């Protein structure tokens, strides 16, 4: 049974779009909303409106970023308006309600990420254990994406610089994702040559430990301008930059592999209309955002061309990656990020459960001294709302995310509810006497 509650608007609440529904996807689980209050994070830079909608292929009335996009058909307009769909105008008027072209693209990139999970070998008795089951040439065919119109050009491996004393196995490179490029036929349909990079989520013990390293450290990815104020989560940075330097024939870092391949493809298709699309789930979303920032910070998407190659991140159930300085720098560089999150997914609220973008400013005027140590989400949010009491783990399942996007049922708009942390923040802001505030407790709010 599904229910929702509408509270009075909070002046600091932002507008999201939320799909809230009961669905039965093709898998053995059924995922639906139960009678729980919505708990969506707020942000001073976004909007928060909950939504659930009914849409069919034959009747889709949407608001688009331009009159032409508003009136164009789903099947013929992507080649002309792909820049808007990929965030040229920060998805203004494309998310509420969700434009069919944008929904189509989100699902498409989500399926590229799903391919990582399908191809990842989890059989400990297999020779390919913790690597890809298939060769690059056949991988997409083997996972049922033979009609994707893309060819895999590179497999990517990541090596967390972490040792677990209770385990004998040393950290080594594990297959984390792949790079693919659209073929000539797809170029005509998409309107450009698309380079796609996808990352799976956390699987191995070393990756879980890396995820728990909740401390901010300077990214320092540009050797010519370290930008110490731009900080990211230490564990994610370790996965991105660590290599097997102790081994004579060890792998280079995930970063080195990616920058080399992206540079090669940009050179190969120089002169063509190009886009760089990066997608990931969970931990993979963090690597996707780090890569997007890295490419833009180094200027690889500029080259000698007067027009930058757009970089777009499609993040599914992703955590926070860096601080407010990282968020600001991504925005300055023009990195576009669309975050698809489930309001009930705890991963999207970490790290920085307490010290986050909502606790940087006091009374909307005074920036708190620890603001540079606060985590901050980057980009625009598209919020889904699903939960199954019998299967709580579904809240973070990528298959459920995609199933919900494929099978929308209802459309309703409501002012999103404010969670307990937001209520606490309001109490702090409304306090008239500074001495009444438990300041000694605030450093512990992590």
Strand blocks (E) in 324-397? 336-342, 361-362, 366-367, 375-376, 380-385
Specify whether the CB–CB gap between 159 and 173 falls below 8 A. yes
Kindly give the interhelix angle for 100-119 and 78-85, rounded to the nearest 10 degrees.
80
Among residues 311, 285, 312, 314, which one has the least CA distance to residue 201?
A: 285
Which structure tokens are listed for 379? Answer: 């980009």
| Whether the Cβ atoms of residue 405 and residue 316 lie closer than 8 Å to each other | no
Show the CA angle centred on residue 320, arms to residues 314 and 322, nearest 5°: 105
Whole-number Å distance between alpha carbons of 297 and 300:
8
The closest of 82, 70, 81, 136 to 109, measured between CA atoms, is 82
Determine the longest span between alpha carbons in the chain, in angstroms. 67
Backbone angles phi, psi at 135, to 5 degrees: -75, 160
With contact defined as beta carbons under 8 Å apart, do 322 and 375 qualify?
yes
Known catalytic residue: 29? Answer: no
Q: How many CB atoms lie within 10 A of CB 387?
A: 21
DSSP 442: G
> Which residue among the candidates 345, 385, 397, 422 is catalytic per the annotation?
345
Which of 243, 286, 396, 397 is the catalytic position?
A: 396
Catalytic residue among 148, 275, 282, 403: 282
Told to judge if 47 belongs to the known catalytic residues of this protein, a careful annotator would answer no
Contact call for residues 18 and 52 (beta carbons, < 8 A): yes
Specify the residue for token string 């404010």: 418
Torsional class of 2: left (φ above 0), alpha (ψ -120 to 50), beta (otherwise)? beta
End-to-end CA distance of the chain: 34
Q: How far apart are CA 68 and CA 272, in angstroms?
A: 24
C-alpha–C-alpha distance, residues 156 and 287, integer Å: 11
184 labelled catalytic = no
The residues annotated as belonging to the active site are 282, 345, 396
């Amino acid at each position: 049974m599904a229910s929702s509650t509408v509270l009075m608007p909070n002046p600091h609440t932002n507008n999201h779009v939320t799909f809230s529904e009961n669905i039965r996807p093709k898998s053995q689980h059924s995922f639906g909303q139960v009678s729980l209050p919505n708990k969506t994070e707020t942000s001073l830079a976004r909007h928060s409106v909950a939504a659930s909608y009914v849409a069919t292929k034959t009747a889709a009335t949407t608001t688009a970023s331009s009159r032409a996009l508003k009136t164009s058909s789903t099947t013929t307009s992507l080649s002309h308006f792909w820049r808007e769909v990929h965030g040229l105008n920060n998805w203004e008027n494309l998310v509420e309600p969700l434009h069919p072209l944008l929904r189509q693209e989100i699902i498409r990139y989500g399926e590229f990420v799903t391919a990582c999970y399908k191809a990842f070998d989890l059989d400990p008795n297999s020779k390919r254990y913790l690597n890809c089951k298939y060769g690059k040439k056949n991988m997409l065919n083997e996972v049922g994406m033979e009609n994707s119109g893309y060819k895999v050009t590179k497999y990517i491996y990541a090596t967390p610089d972490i040792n677990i004393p209770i385990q004998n196995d040393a950290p080594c490179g594990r297959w984390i994702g792949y790079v693919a490029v659209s073929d000539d036929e797809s170029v005509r349909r998409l309107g450009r040559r698309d380079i796609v990079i996808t990352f799976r989520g956390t699987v191995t013990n070393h990756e879980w430990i890396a995820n728990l390293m909740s401390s901010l450290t300077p990214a320092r990815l540009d050797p010519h301008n370290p930008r110490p104020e731009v900080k990211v989560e230490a564990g994610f940075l370790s996965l991105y930059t660590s290599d097997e330097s102790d081994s004579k024939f060890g792998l280079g870092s995930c970063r080195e592999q990616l920058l080399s391949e992206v540079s090669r493809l940009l050179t190969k298709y120089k002169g063509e209309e190009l886009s760089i699309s990066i997608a990931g789930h969970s931990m993979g979303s963090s690597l996707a955002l780090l890569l997007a920032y890295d490419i833009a910070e180094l200027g690889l998407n500029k080259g000698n061309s007067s027009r930058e190659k757009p970089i777009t991140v499609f993040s599914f159930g992703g955590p926070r990656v860096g601080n407010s300085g990282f968020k600001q720098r991504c925005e300055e560089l023009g990195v576009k990020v669309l975050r698809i999150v489930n309001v009930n997914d705890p991963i999207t609220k970490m790290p920085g459960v307490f010290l986050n973008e909502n606790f940087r400013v006091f009374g909307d005027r005074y920036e708190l001294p620890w603001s540079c140590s606060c985590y901050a989400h980057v980009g625009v949010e598209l919020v889904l709302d699903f939960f199954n009491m019998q299967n709580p783990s579904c809240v973070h399942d990528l298959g459920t995310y995609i199933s919900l996007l494929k099978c929308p049922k209802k459309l309703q708009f409501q002012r999103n509810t404010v969670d307990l942390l937001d209520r606490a923040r309001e109490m702090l802001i409304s306090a008239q006497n500074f001495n009444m505030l438990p300041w000694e407790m605030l450093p512990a709010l992590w």
